[in-house]
Structure 1
Amino acid sequence: MLQAGYIDGVFVTGSGEILAVEDPSDGREIARLAGLSAPQVEDAIRAARLAFDRGVWSELAVAERAAALRRFVAALAQREAKLAEVTVAETGCPPHSGTMRVQVKAPLRMALECIDFFAALPEIEENPLPLAERATPTGMMLQSLRRYTPIGVVAAIAAYNFPFYTAIWKVIPALMAGNTVVVRPNPLTPLSAMILGEAAEEAKLPPGVLNVVLEAGHDGARLLTTHPAVDMVAFTGSTAVGAQVAIQAAPTFKRVQLELGGKSAQIFLPDAVNRFAAQAVVVCTAHAGQGCALGTRLFVPEAQKAELVEQAAAAFRRLKVGPALDPETQVGPVISAAQVARCEHFVKLAVENGGRVAAGGARPSHLDRGHYFEPTLLDLPDNSNPAAQEEIFGPVVSVIGYRDLDHAVEMANDSKYGLSGYVHGEDAATALKVGARVRSGSVHVNAAVMSTYASFGGQRASGYGRERGVEGMRLYQQLSCLTLGG
C-alpha cells in the first residue's frame, strides 16, 4: 500500500478511508491508498507543535533557514520530471500547454526568489514616531520598534487545479518565517504533495518542521482548522469551503488566509475589441478554464457584440478538446464528472434566463471516457444572469454588452467576487482610469503579472489575506511593538 503521510520525519501508511485517485483524461484509477485517519492527522499537528515549541527551526537564524530551504528546493528541482508527470496524471493538465509552466517550473523558480526575498526582510523595523513623541517632558528619549516573529503551526491546505503551486506558495514563506507546517492537499490531486516529503527528508529538515497528510475525506481538514495547536490556516479553494474554514477557525482565533473563487471581468475598450476573441480563447485553453483568476466575464461595446460573438464562436469551434497527453489537445479535461455536471448546470441556467449558447455547451460526443466539456461561449443579455454571477470553473465564457464605460465598470463591480480584473485598451491612459475603478484584489491593464514580488489576493467573497509580495511574506509572522526609553 502506498504511503499517505510524512509525519515527524517519517513516511507513514494510512489507517483511514481508501483514497482513490483518477486520471481525468480517461477516468482510470492511477493510485489507490489508505488515507490518513483523523488521529494520524492529529499526530502530524502534534509533531509540528512540538518542533515549533522546541525551537529546532524557529530559533535558527534566518540565514540558516534559508540555506536549508535552498537544499529543499534543490531536492524538488531534481524531481521536476516526476512532479510534472504526477501533475499531468492527477490534474489532466496538458504537458505541452502554457499552463503547465505554472504547475511546476514557475513555483520552483519563485520558491528560490521567495527565500531570497524573505531573507532580506528585516526582523525589526522602526516605527516612524513624530519628533514630538520621541522625547518626554523628563528628557527621556523614546523609540518604537516593530518586531516580527513566527506565528507557530501553519496548516497549508492546497487546491486541486494547481496542487504543487498552491502548496509551495504556503510552505516556503511559512517555513522562512520560522513556522512549522502541516500540508494537506486536495483529495482529488494528492500525489504530488508526497514529493514535498521526499525533498524534506533529502534536505534534512528537522523532524516535525514539514509534515504532509493525505486523506480521502474531510475529517483531517476539519481538524487542521479547529485544533488549538494550529495557529494559522492558509487555504486555497472554493468560496463555499473557504467560508466553512473561517467558521471552523474562529473559536480558536487562528489567523486565516483565504484565496477563494473568482468571477473576474475583462473590459474591452472600443479601441481594443480586436483582442476579444483571442482573450476569450485563452480562458478555455488555460487548464480548461479551471483558474480562479481567469477573466470569465467579457464586456464589449453593445453595438459590436453580435459581430464579436460570432468571431469568438468560430475560434471556439476550432479548438481541439482531448486527453492531456495528446499533443494536439488545446482544451484538456476538467477534474471530475461532478465538474462536468456543474458546467452543464450553469449553461442550462444561462439559457433559461435569456442567454444563448453561441458555441459549445455540452460534453464532446467523440470522447466517451474522461471528464470533458466543450469550450463554451455564452451570449448573455445582462450581468444578472446566473452564468455571470457564479463561478463555474470550467471552459465556459460569458459575453455581455455595455452601453458606455460607466456601464461596463458598474457591471464589472456587480459581483460578490473580487479576485482579479482585466482592462484592454489601446489608449493606455483611458484604460488605466477604467482599471482604477474596478474593485478587485488585482487589476491588470493590458498585461498580467505573476511575480514573487507582487502580492495576490481577493476581496469580498474571493477571500482575504495576500500571497507573495511583502504582504504575503509578513502574513506568516506575528507583529509586536517594542518601546525603548533611555
Structure 2
Amino acid sequence: MTTIINTRSPYIDGKSVVGEGKSLPVINPATENVITEVETTSVRQVETAILAARRAFDIGDWAWADRRDRVRMILGMLDYFEEHRDELAQTIQQEAGATTRMLGSAQLDHAIAQMRQTVDLYLTLPDEEYSPRPLDVAIAANTVGLSVMTYEPVGVVSCISAYNCPFWINAWKAIPALLTGNTVVLRPSPFTPLSALVFGDAAEAAGLPAGVLNVVLEAGYEGSALMTTHPAVDQISFTGSTAVGKSIMRQAADTAKRVMLELGGKSVQLYLPDGVDKAPMGFPVVFANHSGQACVAATRMLVPHDRKDEVLDKGAAIAARLTIGDPADASTLMGPLISAAQRDRCESYVQRSVAAGGRVVTGGKRPPGHDRGYYFEPTILDVPDNSNPAAQEEIFGPVVTVIGYDTVDEAIAIANDSPYGLSGQVYSPDLVAATAVARRIRAGAVNVNGLGASAYASSGGYKESGLGRERGVDGLRAYQEIKHLSVNNW
C-alpha cells in the first residue's frame, strides 16, 4: 500500500534537523484524524535558516554558477518528485483533502510538468542584453565600449505559501527562485507541512549545496514575521489572504524588501446574453476546484435578469448530483474544506447573505451523512445585487453568488465593483464581443470561453489581489535584479 512521505523534520543548511518547537499534528480534513506529527522550528532555527541562505548566496557558488549546473540540479529535484509521485499524491490527499481528480491536474501532475516547462523557458532567457542606446556622456567623450543590461539574482528569498494547492504553490515559488540563482527559505502553511518537507528531500537527493534551500515549519507566525523583517532577507514571495499580505508589506517596509504577493480574489464568470446556456456548468467548475478553495475561483456569476431563474434552477439540479465524500474515491468531485473553522466561515457567510436579502437556492450547510470531516454542501446563493456580503468578500469555499444584470455595461461595472482583481471569465459565442468585454475587466488574468493557465504565461493580481507576477517570463524575471553595466575605453 502506498504510504505518505515520511519526513517529519525541518531542513536547514543542507540537513534535516531536530525541531526545537512544539510538535504539530497534521489533520486529515476528510476524517478529522491525526495523520502524523511534525517537528516545528523555533524562531532561533528560522534565523539559522535565513543566515544559512545568506551565506550560501554571498560566499557560495550557487548564485554565480553556470546556469546549466543549476538547471541540472533543479531537474534532479523534479525527477525526485516524479520518482515519489505516489507517496506525494497520498500525502497531498491526506493533508489537504485533495481529490484524486485534482491530483491528476493542479495539485500535483501539472505542477511537475509546468516546472519542467519553466526550466525550458528559463534556458531561453538571456543573462544580459545589449542596451539599445549608448550613454550620452560616453558618446561625447568618445569612450563608449559596451552598454548592457544584466539580470542577476535578488539574493535570499522568503517563500511563504498557502494550504489550498500546497505542492504547486511551493513549487511556483521555490523553483523559479532557485533557477535564477537565489537561495530560499520555504515556510508552508501549518495545515500542509508534509508536501513542503519533500522539497528538502529532493534538494538533498539532487545535490543542492548546503543553505541553498531551507524548509522551516511552525504552528504560529513568529517565524514568518522574522522571514519578512530580517535584514538578511532580500525578497518575500507570499500567497495567502489579503489581510496577511498587507501586514507583510508593512513588515517589509523598514528594510525595503522586494515583495511579491498573490492574495485574495472574488472573480466573476460573466455570461453575455448569447452565452447564458453555458452558465449552469459554471457551478461545478467552482465546486470541483478543491471545493472552492482557490483564490481564482469565479464565485460571482453574472447573468441577464431575464435568464436568472432558469440558471438558478439548472444549477441547483447539477449541484444535487455532485459526489461529495472521500477524496481518495475516484468518483468524488468534492472533498472537504481544510478545517472546521473554514467550514464555519462558509456557513457564516451564507447566514450573512440571507440577512442582507440573499436567498439560499441550494446547499448552505454540512451535508447529511458526513458526521466527520470538514465538508460543506455546494451552495448557490441568489443575491439581489453586488453589495451582498457573499458577493463582496472572499469566502474560500463552495459558495457561488448569482447576480443579475440588464446591460453589458452594467455587468462590466458589477465585475469591477470589487476590491479584488485577480481573475475573471467571459462567455459568448461572439469572440469579438467577449474579448472586448474581457479587456474592460480589471483583473490580472481574464479567460474567454474557458479556463487556461500556462508555465509560459504570467498571472497576478490588480488592486487588493496582489503585487507582481508569477509564471512565464515575468515570473522568472521577478526573482532577478536588473543592473546596467557600462564598460568604457581606457
TM-score normalized by structure 2? Answer: 0.96
Shift of residue 32 of structure 1?
Answer: 1.5
3-state secondary structure, aligned to 2:279: helix
User: Paired residue for 2:158, among 155, 167, 189?
Assistant: 155
2:174 and 2:184 in contact (8 A); partners too: yes
Identity of aligned residues (%): 48
Matches within 5 A, 1:364-443: 364-443=367-446
1:134 and 1:142 in contact (8 A); partners too: no
Shift of residue 129 of structure 1?
Answer: 2.1
Query: Structure 1 counterpart of 2:465, which letter?
Result: S
CA-to-aligned-CA distance 1:385-404 (integer Å, 9 cap, x gap)? 00000000000001000111
Question: Which residue number in structure 1 is paired with residue 78 of structure 2?
Answer: 73
Question: Which residue number in structure 2 is paired with residue 88 of structure 1?
Answer: 93
3-state secondary structure, aligned to 2:181: coil
Shift of residue 5 of structure 1?
Answer: 0.5
CA-to-aligned-CA distance 1:66-107 (integer Å, 9 cap, x gap)? 111111211121111111110000011111x24642111111
User: Paired residue for 2:112, among 87, 102, 108?
Assistant: 108
Shift of residue 115 of structure 1?
Answer: 1.4
Matches within 5 A, 1:438-453: 438-453=441-456
2:63 pairs with 1:58: yes
2:7 and 2:194 in contact (8 A); partners too: no
C-alpha separation in 1, matches of 2:308 and 2:24: 47
User: Paired residue for 1:319, among 313, 319, 322?
Assistant: 322
Query: Structure 1 counterpart of 2:130, which letter?
Result: E
Q: State which drifts further: 333-342 or 136-145.
A: 136-145
Question: Which residue number in structure 2 is paired with residue 10 of structure 1?
Answer: 15
CA-to-aligned-CA distance 1:424-456 (integer Å, 9 cap, x gap)? 001110001110100000011113221111001
C-alpha separation in 2, matches of 1:56 and 1:136: 37
Question: Which residue number in structure 2 is paired with residue 275 of structure 1?
Answer: 278
3-state secondary structure, aligned to 1:111: helix
CA-to-aligned-CA distance 1:22-79 (integer Å, 9 cap, x gap)? 0000100101133111111111111111111113211211111111111121112111
Question: Which residue number in structure 2 is paired with residue 289 of structure 1?
Answer: 292
1:187 and 1:216 in contact (8 A); partners too: yes
2:219 pairs with 1:216: yes
Shift of residue 126 of structure 1?
Answer: 2.3
User: Paired residue for 1:201, among 193, 201, 204?
Assistant: 204
Long gaps (5+) in structure 1:
none
Question: Which residue number in structure 1 is paired with residue 133 of structure 2?
Answer: 129
3-state secondary structure, aligned to 1:192: helix
CA-to-aligned-CA distance 1:154-191 (integer Å, 9 cap, x gap)? 11111100111001111111111111111111000111
3-state secondary structure, aligned to 1:199: helix
C-alpha separation in 2, matches of 1:11 and 1:99: 27
Question: Which residue number in structure 1 is paired with residue 35 of structure 2?
Answer: 30
Long gaps (5+) in structure 2:
1-5
2:228 and 2:251 in contact (8 A); partners too: yes
1:297 and 1:397 in contact (8 A); partners too: yes
3-state secondary structure, aligned to 1:136: helix
| 1:308–1:228 Cα change, 3 Å | same
Aligned length, in residue pairs:
484
Question: Which residue number in structure 1 is paired with residue 304 of structure 2?
Answer: 301
| 1:100–1:214 Cα change, 3 Å | farther
Question: Which residue number in structure 1 is paired with residue 3 of structure 2?
Answer: none
C-alpha separation in 2, matches of 1:193 and 1:20: 15
Q: How big is the alpha-carbon RMSD for the aligned residues of Structure 1 and Structure 2?
A: 1.6
3-state secondary structure, aligned to 1:103: coil
Question: Which residue number in structure 2 is paired with residue 458 of structure 1?
Answer: 461
1:313 and 1:358 in contact (8 A); partners too: yes
